[in-house]
Amino acid sequence: MTTTATPRTVSREIRLASRPVGAPASGNFALVTTEVPAPAEGQILVRNTWMSVDPYMRGRMDDAPSYIPPFALGAALEGSAVGEVIASRDAAVPVGSTVSHFLGWREYAVLDAAAATVVDTGIATPADYLGPLGTTGLTAYAALTRTAPVKEGDVVFVSAAAGAVGSVAGQLARQLGASRVIGSAGGPHKTRKLLDVFGYDAAIDYRQGDLPGQLAQAAPEGIDVYLDAVGGDHLQAAIGAVRQGGRIAMVGAISGYNASVPAPGPDNLFRAAAREATLRGMLVSSHFDLFPEWIGKAASWLADGTLRTEETVTEGIEHAPDAFLGVLTGANTGKMLVRLSR
């Protein structure tokens, strides 16, 4: 076993100060300086370099039953992060390793070595393991190969298409044989990115209104597959456009995450029945077995330029809440990341 830890490691972390009602605000978070203990047997100490902020974290701020436990008041938040091992008491994860783990929202983390994954920085950057090679990239892959599999010649519609999942999903749909790929995003800057960077055939600016009309213009004969990260009006428009035997992967519903009362659902669900369409929910944690397969493909595509990605980077742990609030309002193109150290 090796260790380079000093007896006392001081770290800053973000804690949940209060539970938001409606949209979160900066007052719901607290920046706290704390002392991190040296790792015990079987543990490692990680200096986090990058952390992820993701829309699903909003649900964990509510004290309500869900597929993942809520954040505890007064405790550090959690989420995906990558960093360098600076002390180790497990020979399988030596000092100097780069690892991914789930104790983000802090500058230093002590965790069981078994809870960390050593990543190969020879095939991709550490930050890539939070974006295209992380759960966001895996979400796109699992959604379009398992939950709502794309078939040769399909017309595919993706919401939040300029975000972390959507920017990968559009390119992946093409790799899987889609004949036409349509994305929805907010504003002319993002819709231009869909066409010029992320390889979409058509881009819908939902802020311009008449989403069903815009979708009908982009896909006059309807759609076969829809990746839903938004819910609400996007899900309704997709159901209205779905063709016989269509598939819808329900991976998120960001339009309702800040609602203080339940948001209204689509009122055209019978159309899905009439078209014998499938609406299937998806949790990426049920598809972790696909990680090796996905990383093998995606790393190669990143290296040769087949897969193009972007990041929106916020600097410093103290600005992590701002990054999180921004991802809820669509401030990011591609993956929203917080750089904690260099």
What 3 state SS string does 153-191 have?
CCEEEECCCCEHHHHHHHHHHHHCCCCEEEEEECCHHHH
Residues facing residue 335 across a β-bridge: 311
Q: What is the dihedral of CA 137, 139, 142, 148, to 10 degrees?
A: -120
Mean per-residue pLDDT, 192-200: 97
- pLDDT at residue 7 in the model: 52
Question: CA-to-CA distance for 231 and 75, rounded, in angstroms?
Answer: 30
Closest CA to 154 of 242, 263, 255, 239: 242
202-213 residue pLDDT tens: 999 999 999 999
Mean pLDDT over each residue of the chain, to the nearest integer: 95
Answer whether 308's CB lies under 8 Å from 194's CB.
Answer: no
C-alpha torsion angle, residues 127, 130, 131, 132 (rounded to 10): 90
Domains of the chain: residue spans and CATH: 9-130+309-339 (3.90.180.10), 135-285 (3.40.50.720)
Q: Per-residue pLDDT tens for 250-300?
A: 999 998 888 877 777 899 999 999 999 999 999 999 999 999 999 999 999
CB 168 within 8 A of CB 193: no
Say if residue 3's pLDDT is above 60. no
Supply 203's token pair.
């881009």
Provide the pLDDT for residue 80: 98
Closest CA to 9 of 40, 44, 34: 34
The token pair that represents 290 in the structure block: 């696909």
Cβ atoms of 116 and 94 closer than 8 Å: no
Average pLDDT over residues 307-311: 97
The count of C-alpha atoms lying within 13 angstroms of the C-alpha of 295, restricted to the half-sphere facing its C-beta, is 19
Separation CA 86–CA 92 (nearest Å): 14
pLDDT exceeds cutoff 80 at 16: yes
- DSSP single-letter state for residue 60: H
Q: pLDDT band at residue 102, thresholds of 50, 70 and 90? A: very high
Residues in the chain: 342
Question: C-alpha angle 125/186/140, rounded to 5°?
Answer: 45
Query: Quick one: tokens of 85?
Result: 């091992």
Q: Which of 154, 164, 148 is closest to 312 using CA atoms?
A: 164
Q: Check the CA dihedral 169-203-206-131 and report its sign.
A: positive
Closest CA relative to residue 230, chosen from 186, 291, 188: 186
Rounded distance, CA 279 to CA 71, Å?
Answer: 29
Residue 101 — very low, low, confident or very high, per pLDDT cuts 50/70/90?
A: very high
Instruction: Give the pLDDT band (50/70/90) at residue 184.
Output: very high
pLDDT of 1 above 50:
no
User: Between β-strands 202-205 and 223-228, what pairing exists: parallel, antiparallel or unpaired?
Assistant: unpaired
